[in-house]
Structure 1
C-alpha cells in the first residue's frame, strides 16, 4: 500500500521526489542564510527553516549516513538517491553538542517523520550565530533541480518542504 507524499516518504510523484520539513518553523530562502557556503549554494540547493519546534525528523525515507559528533547536522541518503544535509543553525558546531540530543543513530534506516534530533531552542537562540537551519540537496548535479518550495510556516514531518526534479 503506497503512502501518500503528504504523509511521508521520499515518494516519487509526477512532480518529483517529495521532501518533508525536518523541523517546524518559518521557511527562509537559502540566499538569506547568514553563511556564505549555504547562501551561495556551494553546499547544495535547497531552503532553510527558522525552527520553532524542538524535534528534528527525517525529511524522507533513507539511511542516516552521517550524524556529526556534535549532533548539529546530519546527512541522509534517501532511497531515491538524493543526498540531503540538514544543518541546524549556523556555526553550531562550535557549541560542542550543547543544545542537541541525538534520537537516532548513524547508519540507521529511517522513514520520513522519524525523530533524529531534539533541540534546546532557548540555548541555541542564546549561543548560536543563528538558528536558521539549511536543508540542502548536496548532490544536486544528479537531479534537474528543486521545485515547489514551501513558504511561510511548515510542520515537521507533515508539510512538504520542496520537491526534487529528476533529470
Structure 2
C-alpha cells in the first residue's frame, strides 16, 4: 500500500508507534545534518517496526538495528533504530522479515526490546530517511506529535 493523494506522490506510513522528532534534533550529526538523507525521526513507544511502504528489503543489517527498503518508484529508505545501536551486536532486536523479501506497508520487519534498548543505547530516537533525496522533491507533509506504526502518514515523497 502506497497511499497517494496526488498522482506521483508517495505517502510513507510511520514504521513505529511513538512521538515524531525533527531530524535536526537527532543526537547524531550524520542524521541531524541530513548527510544520510531527509525525513524525520521517531521516539518509539511501541515494539513493532513495520514497513513504511510496499517495497523490497534490500538490506537488513546483521545487527538488526536498521534496514533499507526500495519501492517500485525508486524511493530508497533507511529505517535506523536508535543511535549507536550497532554497538549492541543485535541485542534488543528480533528480525521478523528477511533481506531480499518484498513487504507490504504495515508488515512487521523488526521487534524491539525497548527496555533493553533504552538502558543500553545512546538514544532510541529512530530516523526514517529518504537516502536518495536528490532524486525527489523535498519531503513534505511531515508528521508531528504522536504516530501509530503502519497507520499514521509520516511524510510525502514526490518525483521532481
Q: Which residue of 2 aligns with 1:103?
A: 96
Taking the aligned partners of 1:84 and 1:13, their CA distance within structure 2 comes to 20
60, 65, 73: which one aligns with 1:67? 60
Q: Which residues in structure 2 correspond to 1:28-107 (within 5 Å)? A: 28-107=21-100
Contact map agreement 1:104 1:117 (CA 8 A) in 2: yes
Specify the SS of the correspondent of 2:124. coil
Check whether the contact 1:50–1:133 (CA below 8 A) recurs between aligned residues: yes
Pick one of 150, 155, 159 that aligns with 1:162: 155
- The alpha carbon displacement at 1:145 in A equals 1.3
Q: TM-score, normalised by structure 1?
A: 0.93
Residue 118 of structure 1 corresponds to 111
**Residue aligning to 1:141:** 134
In 2: Cα distance, 1:126 partner to 1:21 partner: 24
SS at match of 1:163: strand
Q: CA deviation at 1:155?
A: 0.1
Q: C-alpha displacement at 1:137, in angstroms?
A: 0.0
Where in structure 1 do 4 or more consecutive aligned residues deviate above 3 Å? none
Task: Give me the whole-angstrom Cα distance separating, in 1, the residues matched to 2:134 and 2:61.
Answer: 24
Runs of 5+ unmatched residues, structure 1: 1-8
Deviation string 1:75-115 (CA, Å, 9 cap, x unpaired) is: 00012210000000000000000000000000000000000
CA distance in structure 1 between the partners assigned to 2:29 and 2:23 by the alignment: 10
- The equivalent residue for 2:15 is 22
CA deviation after TM superposition for structure 1 residue 13, in Å: 3.1
CA RMSD, Structure 1 to Structure 2 (Å): 0.9
- Quote the Cα distance in structure 2 between the aligned partners of 1:10 and 1:135: 16
Query: For 1:26-67, what per-residue CA distance to the aligned partner results, in whole angstroms no more than 9, with x for missing partners?
Result: 000000000000000000000000000000000000000000
State how many pairs are aligned. 159
Indicate the residue corresponding to 2:3 in structure 1: 11
